[in-house]
């Protein structure tokens, strides 16, 4: 059949199962918006306040569901405003399809009004991108973009469509929704050597990242740990793949990870690494990492093998088939001495727990857990609150912890939480700091207009807390540019009400309990401005340029 290019775009999105598109209109996508009106019963457009919010919201949608998130923006500033969100999804391997408009093909290269080479700009931060000049290629390109976004290592794919292509008539034939490429075993040449290494070790550790969630390999991780009698630790991106109360799970490892998890990484003689990148936040000083340990590294992306660590055995392939091939070859192990050492690490960690009364980070997040619906999602922004959430919250089901790791983009939290809430139709907890909320507070307008069920827990310490923590510990308390209290006069409860949301301020645990109760009964977003002491620290902490043995567990006042 013959359709306008803009209609082909929307029809193909519907065909691929897209239910939500997050975007902001403009001249070069006005034809796509016109077509959206004809399909409003099948696909919902969510108008954001800023294009960066569209990318983060689509990202949150994708992380919570495992499906492709879709965002839409016009050319020029519309497309460049998406860049931070695209980079955030690229570094955390989140599947997005990003659609932008551009000026008509005859104006390309003439510096026309709002012309930008967005494919060139985003080339380093996308799995692939397209500039579409032929209307008859539109449906094929969109289908390919969806397939690429979810196949192998997931990630964002950008499609830039010239305005005249959207207006031209072209051929469209309905098709089935594309599927991800079939999982592959990949390079198993080192499998036998890896099996021998694991069978011979005495202190194994299973360490995983977000690749386990992407592969749906949670069951296999637990089966592997039980087979080799190993504790389990994870990166920030791996959180929620294994229930945090599982007896083998030690928690997040690394710069601000749990003490026992980091010490287990330091003392292991074999690390079985699954779908993780071994970035600097996990290893500390890489020159001091892994000297006395064997590393068996399994990842769908072969470029990650030996990229940052000296991996003894690399297996390239999808995690589930690789683990299903590996596990039956392993001996059933019983490492009693290692288990006793792990228990000692747990006891040392328990002795470090902050048991103070009042609005401490731990007490605040423990109360937040009381009011969370079972299986509901937690979203964080970036900063101290993010690490506290990773340390203290109870996560029982996969894809219930949504956080921006690799890019560390402040401002991610609120729009991502909106995407999660609209995707899951459940009240979503957003844990955010006053610095991060200030970067995307305009998306409260989006939360209100969509009636998104988001409880915004603002852990307000009047400072850019993570940077201040570094200034305190490593820069002789030279506080520059991080103190917000007294400098900014923002009343976030008043701001919430100005946008049409509800909110209240918590100065005590009693106030906080009342606020959470009101939020649970609210039909839309609710902002809790919770006072946190300015000098609260995230501990443990790895010292900058230090190794795992330089972990800081306490700080003198």
Classify residue 162 by its DSSP letter: E
Is 556 among the catalytic positions? no
* Whole-number Å distance between alpha carbons of 404 and 386: 9
Identify whether 345 is a catalytic site residue.
Answer: no
Considering 278, 466, 499, 541, which one is annotated as catalytic?
466
How far, in Å, CA of 18 to CA of 32, rounded?
15
Q: Which is nearest to 536 in space by CA: 435, 477, 461? A: 461
Radius of gyration of the chain (CA): 24
Catalytic residue flag (residue 19): no
- Token output for 467: 């940077």
Comparing CA positions, the residue from 449, 504, 490, 517 lying closest to residue 57 is: 449
Is 528 in a helix, a strand, or coil?
A: strand
Residue 44 pairs with which residues in a beta bridge? 20
CB-CB neighbours of 305 under 10 Å: 19
113 is catalytic: yes
Which residue from 552, 539, 549 is spatially nearest to 265, judged by alpha carbons? 549
Q: Which of 401, 450, 449, 410 is nearest to 428 (CA)?
A: 401
- Strands 526-531, 454-460: pairing is parallel
Q: Are the beta carbons of 530 and 460 closer than 8 angstroms?
A: yes
Q: Residue 541: which of 289, 266, 254 has the closest Cα?
A: 254
Identify the CA nearest to 437 among candidates 369, 523, 501. 501
Residue of 1, 2, 40, 113 marked active site: 113
How far does Cα 170 stand from its chain's mean position? Answer: 38
**Catalytic one of 114, 167, 442, 534:** 114
Contact between residue 58 and residue 71 where contact means Cβ atoms under 8 Å apart: yes
For tokens 């080799």, the residue is: 228
**Active-site option among 51, 253, 304, 443:** 51
Is 466 assigned a catalytic role?
yes
Structure tokens at 163: 């305005």
Catalytic choice (4, 127, 163, 227): 163
- The residues annotated with a catalytic role in the active site are 51, 113-114, 163, 466
């Amino acid at each position: 059949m013959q359709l306008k290019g803009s209609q082909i775009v929307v029809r193909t999105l519907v065909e691929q199962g897209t239910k939500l598109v997050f975007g902001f209109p403009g001249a070069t996508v006005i034809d796509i918006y016109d077509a959206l009106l004809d399909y409003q019963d099948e696909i919902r457009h969510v108008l954001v306040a800023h294009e960066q919010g569209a990318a983060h919201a689509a990202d949150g949608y994708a992380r919570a569901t495992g499906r492709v998130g879709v965002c839409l923006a016009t050319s020029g500033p519309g497309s460049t405003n998406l860049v931070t969100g695209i980079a955030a999804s690229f570094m955390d391997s989140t599947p997005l399809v990003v659609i932008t408009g551009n000026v008509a093909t005859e104006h390309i290269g003439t510096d026309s009004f709002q012309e930008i080479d967005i494919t060139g700009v985003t080339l380093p931060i996308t799995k692939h991108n397209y500039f579409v000049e032929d209307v008859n290629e539109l449906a094929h390109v969109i289908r390919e973009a969806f397939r690429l976004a979810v196949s192998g290592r997931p990630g964002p794919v950008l499609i830039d469509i010239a305005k005249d292509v959207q207006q031209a008539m072209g051929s469209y034939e309905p098709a089935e929704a594309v599927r991800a490429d079939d999982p592959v075993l990949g390079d198993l040449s080192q499998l036998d050597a890896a099996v021998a290494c694991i069978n011979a070790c005495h202190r194994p550790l299973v360490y995983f990242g977000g690749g386990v969630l992407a592969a749906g390999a949670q069951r296999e991780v637990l089966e592997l740990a039980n087979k080799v009698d190993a504790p389990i630790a994870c990166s920030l991106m791996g959180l929620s793949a294994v229930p945090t109360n599982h007896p083998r799970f030690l928690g997040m490892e690394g710069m601000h990870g749990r003490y026992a998890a980091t010490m287990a990484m330091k003392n292991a003689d074999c690390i079985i690494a699954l779908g993780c990148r071994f970035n600097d936040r996990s290893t500390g000083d890489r020159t001091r990492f892994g000297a006395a340990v064997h590393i068996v590294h399994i990842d769908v992306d072969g470029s990650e093998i030996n990229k940052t660590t000296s991996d003894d055995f690399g297996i390239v392939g999808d995690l589930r088939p690789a683990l299903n091939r590996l596990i039956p070859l392993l001996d059933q192990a019983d490492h009693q001495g290692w288990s006793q050492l792990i228990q000692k690490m747990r006891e040392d960690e328990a002795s470090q727990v902050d048991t103070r009364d009042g609005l401490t980070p731990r007490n605040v997040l423990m109360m937040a857990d009381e009011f969370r619906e079972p299986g509901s999602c937690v979203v964080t922004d970036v900063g101290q609150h993010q690490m506290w959430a990773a340390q203290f919250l109870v996560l029982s089901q996969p894809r219930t912890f949504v956080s921006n790791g690799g890019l560390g983009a402040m401002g991610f939290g609120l729009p991502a939480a909106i995407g999660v809430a609209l995707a899951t139709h459940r009240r979503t907890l957003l844990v955010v700091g006053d610095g991060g909320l200030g970067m995307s507070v305009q998306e409260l307008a989006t939360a209100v207009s969509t009636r998104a069920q988001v409880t915004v827990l603002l852990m307000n310490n009047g400072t850019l807390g993570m940077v201040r923590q570094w200034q305190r510990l490593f820069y002789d308390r030279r506080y520059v540019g991080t103190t917000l209290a007294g400098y900014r006069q923002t009343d976030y409860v008043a701001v919430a009400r100005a946008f049409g949301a509800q909110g209240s301020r918590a100065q005590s645990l009693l106030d906080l309990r009342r606020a959470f109760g009101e939020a649970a009964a609210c039909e839309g977003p609710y902002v809790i401005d919770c006072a946190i002491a300015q000098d609260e620290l995230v501990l443990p902490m790895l010292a900058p340029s230090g190794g795992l043995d330089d972990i800081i567990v306490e700080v003198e006042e």
